[in-house]
Amino acid sequence: MKFTKTAADPRSAARAGVLETDHGQIHTPIFMPVGTVGSVKGVHHRDLREDIRAEIILGNTYHLYLRPGLDTLRAAGGLHKFESWERPILTDSGGFQVFSLSPIRKLTAEGCTFRSHIDGSRHTFTPENNVDTQRIIGADIMMALDECCPGDADHAYARKSLDLTKSWLERYAKRFRETEPLYGYNQCFFPIVQGCVYPDLRREAVDHAVQFDADGYAIGGLAVGEPTEKMYEMLELVCPLLPDDRPRYLMGVGTPANILEGIARGVDMFDCVMPTRNGRNGMLFTWQGIMNMRNAKWAQDFSEIDPDGTSFVDHTYSRAYLHHLFVAGEMFAAMLASQHNLAFYLDVVRQARAHIEAGDFAAWKEDAVERITRRI
């Protein structure tokens, strides 16, 4: 994998670049739709490719490992062939899912033992078998196994958690070097920088991670309960410490405003379930602000959903029609809202990239954040 920085904003840490993989180029900054179990919920691949123009999507190791399972994925020739997606894929290691399942998991120096949320069966992830699992899944970009420390953890817990993550990273990197891709194309892995909201731990995590000379670096353990200001503070600390010639991926973040603020602090890659999850519940993100489509105020509003946007939904269906679909309980409502929100998120990062290249990102971002955070 190769990353080339192509532009930088003179008044912020924002940058534009191109990430090259064997499944295609990724233009950064980029938002990556989440396809947890092999699909982006409610969205056809045709729409992801043609209208939303997603350049990369995510899969999740925890969920794919449990279902459909490794035997099926290997027999299919990997996740790309199994889900008929020819562009790049990134897989989370499953560490966050295990973190969220705290009542039914146990962490040890060896790895993480957990019970399936599907049938209660017992499983263990180690750094070694996590590499093997992601080799079978076949993602272009693999995430190292880590513990996602809660955002409100005290320093003692965060210290212990980081020590575990560092130990797992060393074993993960060793296993990665000892193994080969299974399907004839290259794979890379990103270490995950943890450390909660403690500057000393975050610096230590970066110092340790960069020793592996990885193709990119992820920043984890943010947007997991800490104040938003702390998240931005940690980004301002961590991003300048990471190599300038490698992509930086902020995991699981977030709102469109979070993404713009992350770009301003030097982040290149983002993912979040928010556009599809909130869309299914009637929340739309637009350049005019945030809309609750269940609100009766839209019942006879026949204007476009987002006149200032470029989503294909905007120019086909009215606010009144989408409101009607939600009130009627039609599944088409969730599909259209999810498609719109993903198109909007991709529009946000594309416009950010254009303003970075034009050299006026910082000023544009201030106005954009004010507009997209309004409630209308």
Q: What is the DSSP string of 140-201?
A: SEEEPP-----TT--HHHHHHHHHHHHHHHHHHHHHHHH---SSSS--EEE-EE--TT-HHH
Q: Are 137 and 117 in contact (CB under 8 A)?
A: no
Q: Which secondary-structure segment (H or E) carries 6? A: strand 2-8
Q: What is the pLDDT of residues 317-345, one digit of tens each?
A: 999 999 999 999 999 999 999 999 999 99
Integer CA distances (angstroms), 376 to 157, 274, 347, 372, in order: 41, 18, 20, 10
DSSP 3-state assignment of 19? strand
Crossing angle between the packed helical segments 127-137 and 155-178, to the nearest 10 degrees: 60
- CA 220 distance to own-chain centroid: 10
271 is catalytic: yes
Look up the pTM and report it: 0.97
Stretch 37-63: mean pLDDT: 95
Q: Give CA–CA dist 125/131, Å, rounded.
A: 10
Q: Give CA–CA dist 105/128, Å, rounded.
A: 18
Q: Give CA–CA dist 296/216, Å, rounded.
A: 46
Instruction: Report whether pLDDT(310) > 90.
Output: no
Q: What is the pLDDT of residues 171-194, one digit of tens each?
A: 999 999 999 999 999 999 999 999
> Which of 47, 92, 215, 268 does the annotation list as catalytic?
92
Rg (CA), the chain: 20
Q: Residue 306: how many CA atoms within 13 Å on its side-chain side?
A: 26
Cα dihedral 11, 269, 278, 236 sign: negative
Instruction: Report whether pLDDT(132) > 70.
Output: yes
Instruction: Report whether pLDDT(309) > 80.
Output: no
22 is catalytic: no
| Tokens standing for residue 70 | 């490794």
Residue 100's pLDDT band, with cuts at 50, 70 and 90, is confident
Q: Give CA–CA dist 328/106, Å, rounded.
A: 44
Residues in CB range of 359: below 8 A, 6 or more apart: 9, 10
